[in-house]
Amino acid sequence: MSGPAAPGRTIALVGLSGVGKSATGRILAARLGRPLFDTDTLVIEAAGRSVAEIFSAHGEARFRELEAAALRSACDRGPCVIATGGGVVLRADNRALLRERAYIVWLDAPTPTLLARLRAHDEPRPLLAGDYAARLDQLRAERARLYENLADLRISTDQIAPEAICERIVSALAGPA
């Protein structure tokens, strides 16, 4: 982890599905008076299809291209809050763009917490098809280093409300008291 907190910078939330990126992003954007962009939502708007439909009709590679374009367009819209899809860190160009343009917050929580949150919203996640817990553990193993190397700040969101997560982010942005 590295990088100073910078008040005028875009803030990007990264982490696995179910960790609270969208809920935290909404509250953080309102609190900072900035627009919120959600890369999944931008992809859905651009493609006119759901994420699950893009995966099944065109495959993951096409989804990742649309996701990279969505990230670029969010980064180009000035200081904002970006709730990224969990796999945005997989591409080196996405990681470079995030490093250059954003203060990156990695939201993390244990798999049972992610499962409980995902069950509460029954939107299909194609990469979690089958055994959700096993898939989340696998994605965590594949991605933890990427999130860790990228993040300026890591927050465990286990048993913490999104408002409290935002508090921590805002404090980090303000720097040491």
Task: Point out which residues bind ligand S3P (CB under 6 A).
Answer: 17, 21, 40, 51, 85-87, 125-127, 139
CB closer to ligand S3P out of 85 and 166: 85
The CB-of-130 to ligand S3P minimum distance in angstroms stands at 14
Q: Could you tell me the CA-to-CA distances from 148 to 23, 106, 113, 155 in Å, in that order?
A: 21, 7, 19, 11
Residue 69: half-sphere exposure toward Cβ, Cα within 13 Å:
13
The CB-of-7 to ligand S3P minimum distance in angstroms stands at 26
Looking at the DSSP bridge assignments, the partners of residue 14 are 106
The CB-of-86 to ligand S3P minimum distance in angstroms stands at 3
Task: Retrieve residue 99's tokens.
Answer: 């490093």
Q: Which residues contact 53 (CB under 8 A, 6 or more apart)?
A: 47
The CB-of-104 to ligand S3P minimum distance in angstroms stands at 15
CB closer to ligand S3P out of 88 and 173: 88
CB closer to ligand S3P out of 86 and 162: 86
The CB-of-176 to ligand S3P minimum distance in angstroms stands at 31
CB closer to ligand S3P out of 23 and 169: 23
Q: Which of 134-145 are b and which e, b meaning 16 or more Cβ less than 10 Å from the residue's Cβ?
A: ebbeebbeebee
The CB-of-4 to ligand S3P minimum distance in angstroms stands at 27
Q: Could you tell me the CA-to-CA distances from 46 to 40, 42, 70, 99, 175 in Å, in that order?
A: 10, 6, 8, 24, 37
CB closer to ligand S3P out of 5 and 27: 27
Q: What residue ranges in the chain does DSSP mark as E strands?
A: 10-14, 36-38, 81-83, 102-108, 153-156
Using only the alpha carbons of the chain, give its radius of gyration: 15
CB closer to ligand S3P out of 21 and 101: 21
